[in-house]
C-alpha cells in the first residue's frame, strides 16, 4: 500500500508530465512573435497576411481582445475581406458575444468569396453560436458504440476470497466480455432575462450497456440535476456565480433496480483570470442500495461485501480548469466523501483526484471544419472503511487505492456527427485480496449532437 504522501506525489507528477506547464518556453516564443507582429501591423494596418498571422498567435495565447482589435482595424481599410469577417466571428464567439459572432459568420458565408474549407469551418460552428445566442437553449449529445473489457465481471486478480480472515480459492475466474453502450447527455439553459444573466440550468445523463456473455453485469444509469445560477454583480473576479441545485439518480443492474440516490448541493464558480476558473461545492445525497443485487445476491450476511450501502453521503469538492494555450487546457477535480451507512462496517471515507489534459488538434482534412480533441487523463481514489467486516477479515479494515489511466478521442466529422473512442487501464490495490482487481477497456463508436 502507498502512503498518502506517496499517493499525492505520484498524482501530481502524472499531472505535471501531462501538461506543458513543465515547458513554458513555447508560450514565451509565441508572445515575442505576437509583439513583433503587433508593431508591424500598427505601422502597416492594410497588411492582411501579417494581421491573420497575428490573430492566429493571439488566439493561441488567448489574447482574443487583441485579435478582435487587429481584425476590426483591418476591416476599416477593407470591409470586403470575408476571411477577416469569418475570423472576427470566431473570436467574438470565444469572448461570449454570440450575437455579434453570428452576424459576422453569416455575413462572411453569404459573401460568396470563401473557399470550401472556410465555408465548412463556418458551417461547423454557426449552429452552436446561434444556439448560444438564444435565451432558451437545449443541447443534446449522443454516443453509441462497442466496448471490450478484459475483466468484465470485476473478479479479483488473484482469484481469492476472504472468509473470516482466511483465503479461499474461488471456483470462478476473470472473464473478458464485449458490450454495446448508449450515452445521452442533455443540457438545458433558460435565461431569466435580467441584466446579470441569471439562468436555470438542467442537466440529464442516461447510460446503458448490454453485455454479450455476462448479462447480469449490464447496467443502466439515469441521473439529473436542476437549479438556478445567480451571478454576483460587481465581483472582483470576471464572473462569480452561485448555483444551488437538487439532484438524483436511478441505477439498474441486470434487470433490477440496484441504486437510487437523491439530494441537494450548491457550488460557487469564480473566473479568477480569463484562463483559470475554480468551482468549489458541497453536496448531500441519500442512498438506497438493494441488498439483493450485491455480492452473492443478498445471501445474508454476504451483502455487507458491497462497497455501496444504504445511508447518506456528503461530498465536498473543488473543480477547475486552466487554459495554457487556446488549444491546450488542463482540468482537475479533488473531492472528499463521507459515507455513513446504516451498517457501520460499510461507513467510509473516500478521497478522489482527477486530472485531464485536453489537446485540440487539426483534423485529418481541413474540410471537417472542427478541431479534434485528444485527452489523456488520470484518476486516483482512496477508500477507507471505518471498521473491519467480520465476514471478510475480523481484524483488518478495508483500504483501497484505485488508479485509472486513459486517453480519449473526440473526432467531429460534420457539424452534427462524428466519432469518439477511449482506451483505459484501471487497477484497484487493496489490503484485502478479494478486492484487488485490474481491467483494460477499449470503446469506440459514432456520436451525434443537436
Q: pLDDT tens, 204-234?
A: 999 999 999 999 889 999 999 999 999 998 7
> Which residue has cell 471515507?
349
Helix 82-94 and helix 64-77: axis angle, to 10°?
150
> Which residue has cell 441488498?
291
Distance separating alpha carbons of residues 240 and 231, to the nearest angstrom: 6
pLDDT of the residue at 275: 85
Distance separating alpha carbons of residues 66 and 74, to the nearest angstrom: 13
For residue 137, report the phi and psi dihedrals to the nearest 5 degrees. Answer: -125, 135
Number of other CB atoms surrounding residue 269 within 10 Å: 19
pLDDT at 127 exceeding the cut of 70: yes
Q: Residues of CATH 1.25.40.10 domain(s) within the chain? A: 4-132
pLDDT at 385 exceeding the cut of 50: yes
Sign of CA dihedral 296, 301, 303, 307: negative
Helix (H) or strand (E) holding 101: helix 98-110
pLDDT of the residue at 303: 62
- Please state the rounded mean pLDDT for residues 101-117: 92
pLDDT at 302 exceeding the cut of 60: no
Distance separating alpha carbons of residues 4 and 259, to the nearest angstrom: 30
Radius of gyration of the chain (CA): 26
Asked if CATH classification 3.30.470.20 holds for the domain at 4-132, the reply, yes or no, is no
DSSP 132: H
Distance separating alpha carbons of residues 226 and 258, to the nearest angstrom: 23
Which is higher by pLDDT, 384 or 95?
Answer: 384
pLDDT band for position 159 (50/70/90)? very low
pLDDT at 17 exceeding the cut of 60: no
pLDDT band for position 335 (50/70/90)? very high
pLDDT at 22 exceeding the cut of 80: no
pLDDT of the residue at 396: 92
- Please state the rounded mean pLDDT for residues 55-84: 91
CB-based contacts of 241, cutoff 8 Å, min separation 6: 229, 230, 231, 232, 268, 269
Helix 64-77 and helix 48-60: axis angle, to 10°?
160
pLDDT at 196 exceeding the cut of 90: no
Q: Residues of CATH 2.40.160 domain(s) within the chain? A: 136-449
Distance separating alpha carbons of residues 310 and 134, to the nearest angstrom: 42
pLDDT of the residue at 11: 44
Q: Which of 60-64, 369-373, 381-385 has the highest mean pLDDT?
A: 381-385
Which is higher by pLDDT, 445 or 327?
Answer: 445
Mean pLDDT of the chain: 87
Terminal-to-terminal C-alpha distance of the chain: 46
Q: Lowest mean pLDDT of 234-243, 329-338, 440-449, name the range.
A: 234-243
Distance separating alpha carbons of residues 359 and 20, to the nearest angstrom: 11
pLDDT at 422 exceeding the cut of 70: yes
DSSP 170-198: -S-----EEEEEEEEEEEEEEE--STT--
Asked if CATH classification 1.20.140 holds for the domain at 136-449, the reply, yes or no, is no
**Cβ atoms 445, 422 nearer than 8 A:** no
Reported as a single tens digit per residue, the pLDDT across 253-290 is 988 898 999 999 999 999 888 789 999 999 999 999 88
Amino acid at each position: 500500500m502507498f502512503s498518502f504522501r506517496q499517493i499525492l506525489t505520484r498524482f501530481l507528477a502524472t499531472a505535471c508530465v501531462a501538461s506543458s506547464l513543465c515547458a513554458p518556453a513555447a508560450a514565451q516564443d509565441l508572445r515575442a512573435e505576437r509583439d513583433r507582429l503587433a508593431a508591424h501591423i500598427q505601422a502597416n494596418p492594410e497588411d492582411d497576411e501579417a494581421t491573420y498571422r497575428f490573430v492566429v498567435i493571439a488566439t493561441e495565447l488567448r489574447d482574443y481582445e487583441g485579435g478582435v482589435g487587429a481584425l476590426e482595424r483591418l476591416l476599416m481599410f477593407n470591409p470586403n475581406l470575408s476571411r477577416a469577417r469569418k475570423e472576427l466571428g470566431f473570436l467574438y464567439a470565444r469572448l461570449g458575444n454570440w450575437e455579434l459572432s453570428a452576424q459576422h459568420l453569416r455575413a462572411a458565408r453569404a459573401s460568396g468569396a470563401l473557399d470550401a474549407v472556410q465555408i465548412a469551418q463556418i458551417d461547423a460552428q454557426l449552429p452552436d453560436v446561434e444556439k448560444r445566442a438564444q435565451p432558451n437553449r437545449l443541447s443534446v449529445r449522443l454516443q453509441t458504440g462497442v466496448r471490450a473489457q478484459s475483466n468484465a465481471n470485476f473478479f479479483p486478480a488473484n482469484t481469492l476470497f476472504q472468509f473470516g480472515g482466511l483465503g479461499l480459492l474461488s471456483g470462478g475466474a476473470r472473464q473478458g466480455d464485449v458490450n454495446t453502450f448508449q450515452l445521452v447527455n442533455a443540457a438545458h439553459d433558460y435565461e431569466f432575462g435580467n441584466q446579470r444573466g441569471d439562468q436555470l440550468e438542467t442537466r440529464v445523463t442516461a447510460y446503458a450497456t448490454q453485455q454479450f456473455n455476462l448479462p447480469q453485469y449490464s447496467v443502466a444509469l439515469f441521473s439529473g440535476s436542476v437549479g438556478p445560477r445567480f451571478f454576483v454583480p460587481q465581483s472582483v473576479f470576471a464572473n462569480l456565480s452561485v448555483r444551488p441545485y437538487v439532484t438524483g439518480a436511478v441505477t439498474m443492474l441486470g434487470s433490477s433496480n440496484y441504486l437510487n440516490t437523491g439530494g441537494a448541493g450548491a457550488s460557487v464558480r469564480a473566473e479568477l483570470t480569463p484562463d483559470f476558473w475554480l468551482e468549489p461545492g458541497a453536496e448531500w445525497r441519500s442512498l438506497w442500495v438493494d441488498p439483493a443485487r450485491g455480492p452473492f445476491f443478498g445471501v445474508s450476511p454476504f451483502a455487507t461485501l458491497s462497497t455501496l450501502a444504504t445511508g447518506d453521503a456528503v461530498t465536498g469538492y473543488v473543480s477547475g480548469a486552466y487554459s495554457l494555450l487556446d488549444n491546450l487546457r488542463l482540468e482537475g477535480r479533488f473531492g472528499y466523501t463521507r459515507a455513513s451507512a446504516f451498517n457501520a462496517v460499510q461507513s467510509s471515507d473516500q478521497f478522489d483526484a482527477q486530472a485531464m489534459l485536453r489537446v485540440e488538434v487539426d483534423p485529418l482534412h481541413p474540410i471537417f471544419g472542427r478541431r479534434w480533441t485528444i485527452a489523456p487523463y488520470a484518476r486516483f481514489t482512496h477508500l477507507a472503511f471505518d471498521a473491519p467486516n467480520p465476514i471478510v477479515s475480523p481484524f483488518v479494515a478495508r483500504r483501497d487505492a484505485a488508479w485509472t489511466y486513459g486517453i480519449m478521442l473526440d473526432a467531429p466529422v460534420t457539424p452534427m456527427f462524428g466519432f469518439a473512442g477511449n482506451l483505459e487501464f484501471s487497477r484497484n490495490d487493496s489490503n484485502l485480496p478479494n478486492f484487488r482487481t485490474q481491467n483494460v477497456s477499449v470503446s469506440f463508436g459514432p456520436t451525434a449532437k443537436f
